[in-house]
Chains A and B, each alone.
Chain A
């Protein structure tokens, strides 16, 4: 455990796999840069791995003042214990005030292990971060400039703001795709600090025997435009219209859980709390009623067009354009209108 350290840096755990950085780490760099500027402190990334020093330059380009780089064979592929050892030793040494992790399967495995060893607070799956003051009425103290960790809870029915007033570092995992990723400036200067970590026998007790990775076929997160279909589409045949509209718009195809469960389309396409979180420039929701679990995954979209037969469907509550009607008729009209736009 470390106490509040107002001069402490803002850190990002840089997640990498097979020599490439996870997007969420760069998204977090952009956010951490903003937080560090507001706090008037430096922003750093921690990059553990084996032969990954090159990746440090991308982290510098995306806003890090400093990259703590750890090069060790024990870190070749992710394993909880050695990675936790790296983070705990570096946190104890440098006393950052904030440490952010991607809410990826890896981040959600690693961060709680670290939080427990550091006896520090950790908030899972944040969808927003901010800074703010907290008045502790019981002890009559005001804590200034705490990290506000904002996350949906209770199945997405409430939004909670969590703080971590005294047992630092303030740590959070952040969902993929909810933070904007900056452009990155390759000319930005910064420092790469090579750190050496001592591992013990316990750190090596778990061995990776076999490892298999699949390429993701659907890129919902990166899509500028998403056309998504729900249970209201009615059939797998009708779902072709969703593909057609996405085709003329150059967008990706999304789906609600109802559409996936009905077998209209694969789970890779699912948007929402148990699927992918997206924030495209345009989200066209066809035959999607808009259950909270779905909205949680797309309500950050810049523009939402909702098409639904039920005028009372909750999706209209977050729509910018609403069309009450049968998507089987409306979608072909949209395809026509887009083809004609010339």
Chain B
């Protein structure tokens, strides 16, 4: 028995710590100037999956889509206890909007095969859309529980879960499999385990190995390195769109109904505010003006 859990995680730029050079002159985002981090609520999703496995048995598979550098978040999942890590990477997936992304991820989940839970963070901090989770659930033809905070009961193929809906909460009863989006209030994510960190810091996906050998950093040929990683269980699985039998019509730019027409960076409008001296007279004058223009009744 036990439950097989898939956790979708994302590497995101740290939008909470924007510095001056994060925006280019033309108003676009200078991604290279932003540190890449594990999307915060995806850590809560990982913890939710790990705790299901720890209590009831089963497996946790971490799944991400992105460039090879995104393996960093997969390694973070392995440090914390994930059993398996899969990178979906393909240049044809570039420029996917939330709908195309959810299609690709759902194809990857189908390729994994048997699963009982798909856990996602509620939303990623680079887009804040919260759309990929529900869209994946629809693509997989399963139910969804958004804003998950607590597993109330789990027996056989039925789960009861508490969700926070902002102005209150509710408990839903669902049949498995189900997709769950997890809030940051759901749990306290466990830190990396020291022994697992020592072991899995060497885990790599084939594209990372290729890059390493090309740079001449590692001796030996690629094949040998890959088979060594595989033998020791340190190979991060890597799938492209063909591996997950994705229909290219629904991927990347073609598969994305939304287009970005324009991006503006928020420039502070420094042009003129009325400076009021911090004196009773100054303040009195300002209050008077606010009354005259009917701002104050």
B32 located at the interface, meaning its Cβ lies under 8 Å from any Cβ of chain A in the complex? no
The interface size of chain B toward A, counting residues with CB under 8 Å, comes to 81
Chain B 283-297 near chain A by CB (<8 Å), digits 1 or 0: 110111111000111
SS of B interface (majority): mixed
Q: Which of A256-313 contact B (CB under 8 A)?
A: 273, 281-282, 292, 295, 302-303, 305-306
A214 contacts which chain B residues (CB < 8 A)? 167-168
B61 located at the interface, meaning its Cβ lies under 8 Å from any Cβ of chain A in the complex? no
Contact (Cβ within 8 A) B268 A314: yes
B145 contacts which chain A residues (CB < 8 A)? 206
Contact (Cβ within 8 A) B258 A206: no
B173 located at the interface, meaning its Cβ lies under 8 Å from any Cβ of chain A in the complex? yes
CB-CB under 8 A for A81 and B261, given A108-B130, A210-B171: no
Give bound CA distance, A304 to B224, whole Å: 65
Q: Which of B72-88 contact A (CB under 8 A)?
A: none
A319 located at the interface, meaning its Cβ lies under 8 Å from any Cβ of chain B in the complex? yes
Contact (Cβ within 8 A) A121 B137: no
Give bound CA distance, A214 to B297, whole Å: 32
CB-CB under 8 A for A160 and B172, given A109-B146, A214-B167, A249-B296: no
A153's contact among B128, B165, B175, by CB below 8 Å, is which? Answer: B128
Contact (Cβ within 8 A) A159 B261: no
Residues in A lying within 8 Å of B, measured CB to CB: 80-81, 84, 104-106, 108-109, 111-113, 115-117, 119-125, 132, 134, 148-149, 152-167, 202, 205-214, 216, 225, 249-250, 273, 281-282, 292, 295, 302-303, 305-306, 314, 316-326, 329-330, 333-334, 336-338, 340-341
Q: 18 additional contacts, CB 8 Å, given A209-B171, A333-B283?
A: A115-B135, A119-B99, A153-B127, A155-B18, A158-B27, A161-B262, A166-B257, A211-B170, A250-B297, A281-B295, A292-B266, A295-B266, A322-B275, A323-B275, A323-B277, A330-B278, A337-B283, A341-B287
Residues in B lying within 8 Å of A, measured CB to CB: 13, 15-16, 18, 22-23, 27-29, 97-99, 102, 125-139, 141, 143-147, 160, 165-175, 250, 256-266, 268-270, 273-280, 282-284, 286-291, 295-297
Could you give 29 example pairs across A and B, Cβ below 8 Å? A106-B165, A112-B135, A113-B137, A116-B99, A119-B257, A120-B257, A121-B99, A121-B256, A124-B98, A152-B266, A155-B16, A158-B23, A158-B264, A161-B260, A163-B258, A163-B261, A166-B257, A208-B172, A213-B167, A216-B167, A273-B128, A314-B268, A321-B273, A322-B275, A330-B283, A334-B283, A337-B286, A338-B287, A338-B296
